[in-house]
Structures are given as structure tokens and as C-alpha cells.
Amino acid sequence: MTRQYGIIGHPLAHSLSPLVHNWGFSRFGIDGHYEACDTPPEALSAFMARFRQIPMAGLSVTIPHKTAVMAYADAVTDLGLEVGAVNTLYWRGNVLWAENTDVEGFCRPLVEAGLSVGAALVLGCGGAARAVVVGLKRLGASRIAVTGRTREKAEALAGAFDLEVVDWEARADYPAQLCVNATPMGMLGRLEALSPYPSERLGPGQAVYDLVYNPRLTRFAAEAGHAGATVVSGLDMFVYQAVEQFRLWTGRVLPAEELRPLLMQALYGEALARG
């Protein structure tokens, strides 16, 4: 019998998760099917009731449900509790667990690039920023500061994780060796022309990590590369959080070196994927 998986969030029109996981099922010969289930907040309770009735074998969770869905799990991992948000539901026996694989997704590219974190500045204070902060702490960052255009939100995040707070207007004055963009600035569409950081303050010896991966090269990443900074792509975070989800569900490890070009082709076109 085909095992059912899916992703919930709202909106979900452009989710790449079905491509990733259905490819994984095919690659390993697993009888599974994964689909996008657009679920507005008011429909979450009814969906989770159906999730258990079917029952579905696993679930990815994205905005706006990463915190609310925790109440529908039987247990939440220590990491999920630490972050205060989860993105994966999986079964162990008859127990439905909630986990956060975004932290692993964030950390893995930095480890593979051999980058020492040092002092880090997190640009943005939403849900993605929480996973970033926990990841930076796990990597042993010497200092972590958060900044956002709304001071109150930055202070709330800083208070939850014992961070420094930097005024948005003074963000370039913070001595960051790593700057992480956890805002939607640079995202394909109406935000594409924006960057969260002044280009004139970027340079060699810095690293930037842009969680936005569409377009392939955001303004922030392009300006950082031009200035001689090391650039880490948010696509790698997406790849590794999905690899960890698939492992939790199936015990199999998706090969990132095969998955990455598949996603690049879907996002940017075949010519760029080959390049």
C-alpha cells in the first residue's frame, strides 16, 4: 500500500518539496507519494484530524504552521522545543513526533565549507531566524546579534535566546564575520531589487549566507561576491533540511550531489543546472 506524505502551509503554489521527495521515493524504489496540501490556518485542525485518520506516514510543515502544529504532535524533540518551531512530523511506533530539520539544513553548508562562524549577525527576526540562531549556537559562534526593521521583534527574539540587539540603521557597524539574511529581501518578484545589507560594508574576510535562493543570485549575494566575501547559498539549506526529513521518514539518505542539480534545473533552467 502506498504510504502518503505531504507538506502543509499557505500558500504552497511554488513548493519544491513534492519534487524532492517523490524523486527520492523513485530513486530508492519506495512505494510512497508526496503532495502539497495548501492549508490556511483555519483549516489546520481539520487537516491534522485527517492526517491521523488516513494515517499519513510523514509531513513537512512550513509557514504559517511551524509553531501551531506542535500542539497536534504527541511529542516534540528537544531541538524542536529549543527552536520553538518544527518543520517535520514523523512516526516512531504509534507516537507522532515533531522535529526541526531547518537547524541541520542551516549548519551543514557552513560545516562543509569549513567556515568558522566567529561573530554573527542575523538579519531578520521571524521564524527562520530562530532556527538560524540555534544553529549558530551549535556551531559555537563567539557572538550573535540580531537586527530587524521592527526593534520590538528583534528584542523579543534576542530575549528568547540571550542575543545582542543591533538597530537596523546601525547593522553595518556590527563587527560580523558572518551575516545571515533571514528576511525575504531579494526574493524573486517585488523584493528582488532589495538587499538587507549595505554593499559598501561588504568585503574580504566576511561570509554571507542568504536564505533566499530564488533568484539563483540575489542582490545581497551578488554584491557580497563582487566585494570578495564568501557566499553560502540558501539552496543548500533547503537541500539538507529535506535530506534530514527523508531520513527520518525512510531511514534512507538522499544524495545531495544528485538532488542539488535537480533543484537547480527546476528553479533556474537546464542550462544553468549544467553550468
Q: Which residues are catalytic?
A: 66
Among the listed residues 230, 267, 190, the one whose alpha carbon sits nearest the alpha carbon of residue 15:
267
Residue with cell 538587507: 196
Report yes or no: 179 and 115 within 8 Å, Cβ to Cβ.
Answer: no
Report yes or no: 25 and 32 within 8 Å, Cβ to Cβ.
Answer: yes
- Burial code (b: 16+ CB inside 10 Å, e: under 16) for 120-129 equals bbbbbbebbb
State the burial class of residue 222 (Cβ atoms within 10 Å of its Cβ: 0-12, 13-18, 19+): middle
State the burial class of residue 210 (Cβ atoms within 10 Å of its Cβ: 0-12, 13-18, 19+): buried
CA-based max dimension of the chain: 58
Residue 64 φ/ψ region, left for φ over 0, alpha for ψ in the -120 to 50 degree band, beta for the rest: alpha
Give the cell for residue 196. 538587507
User: What's the CA gap between 109 and 139, in Å, rounded?
Assistant: 12
